[in-house]
Every structure is written in structure tokens, then in C-alpha cells.
A = this chain, B = another copy of it.
Amino acid sequence: MPLVYITRREHFNAAHKLWNPAWSEEKNFEVFGKCANVNWHGHNYELFVTVKGQPHPDTGCIIDLKLLSSIIKRRVIEELDHKNLNLDVPFLKGVMASTENLAVAIWQQLQEEVESHGCRLHSIRLHETENNSAEYFGE
């Protein structure tokens, strides 16, 4: 039985800033530059969720893509879309809103429910801009 990887793309638009509350304003600007703008900035985030497994003989599919999309939307997109990542999101409380940390937090939001449907979560890839992205494989 072949092992196949499928990837679903979703989107969210959010505000954030890179800001360490343990530091002074000066230190934040020195380290994070314009990403520390006090009044926030924002991005169109593009999220790629990759799942692996064996295609089911009856459907040819690893997981119903409509189901995968609905899990991502309920557990991630509805929480993050048109939100402030530093202020509005329960599962990001106390998390520095870097792309790296967002990818890890999104993995944690998805793994259990996705894997309850007979496949394995393989990776979370998150693009902050067309030049910057982070990927996490659960390790």
C-alpha cells in the first residue's frame, strides 16, 4: 500500500507585532526593528497543512479533503482570521507571535483531531509573506 502526502492550503489575515514584554521599548525596537511597531502591522498568512497516509481502497483518498478543510477552519482559521495574534487568540496567549511559533502552535491545534481520522499530520508550513515562511514537522 503506497504512502501518500496531501496538502491543503488555507488563509488568514491578521495583525501582530514582534514584542517581548520583558524588554523595554528601546530593546524591542533594537531587536525587532519595524516589526515592533507599537500600533501593530499585519499579514495575509498562507497556511499549508500536509497529512500522510494510505489511500482508502473505496475512495482513493487519505482523508476527505472537505473534512480536513473543515477541521483546519474550525480549529485554526476561525481563531486567527481577522484577529490580532498578540491579543485575541486563546491558544497563543504568552506566545511570541513569530512565524516559527505560529507554525508550532498550529500543529498543536490540529494534530489530535486530524490524526483521529486514520492519517498522520506531517507538516505545517506557514507563509507570512512571499519571501518568508516557516515549517514544522512535529519534532
Are A55 and B13 in contact (CB-based, < 8 A)?
no
For the complex of A and B, 3 pairs with smallest distance between CB atoms? A42-B42, A60-B96, A60-B98
In contact, A39 and B15 (Cβ under 8 angstroms): yes
How many chain A residues touch the partner (CB < 8 A)? 65
Q: List 19 A-B contacts (CB under 8 A).
A: A2-B104, A4-B134, A4-B135, A5-B134, A6-B99, A6-B100, A6-B133, A6-B134, A7-B133, A13-B129, A15-B40, A15-B41, A20-B58, A23-B58, A35-B82, A39-B83, A39-B88, A41-B84, A62-B100
A75 within 8 A of B: no
| Least CB separation from A62: chain B residue | B100
Does the CB pair A41–B83 fall under 8 Å?
A: yes
Q: Are B39 and A41 in contact (CB under 8 A)?
A: no
A74 within 8 A of B: no
Contact of A15 with B33 at beta-carbon distance under 8 Å, contacts A59-B96, A100-B62, A135-B5 already known: no
- Interface pair B132/A59, CB less than 8 Å apart: no
Q: B residues within 8 A CB of A6?
A: 99-100, 132-135
Using A7-B135, A41-B84, A55-B104 as known contacts, list a sample of 15 further A-B pairs with CB atoms less than 8 Å apart, ordered by residue number in A. Answer: A2-B139, A3-B139, A4-B136, A5-B137, A6-B100, A6-B134, A8-B132, A13-B43, A13-B129, A15-B42, A16-B42, A33-B66, A34-B82, A50-B135, A60-B97
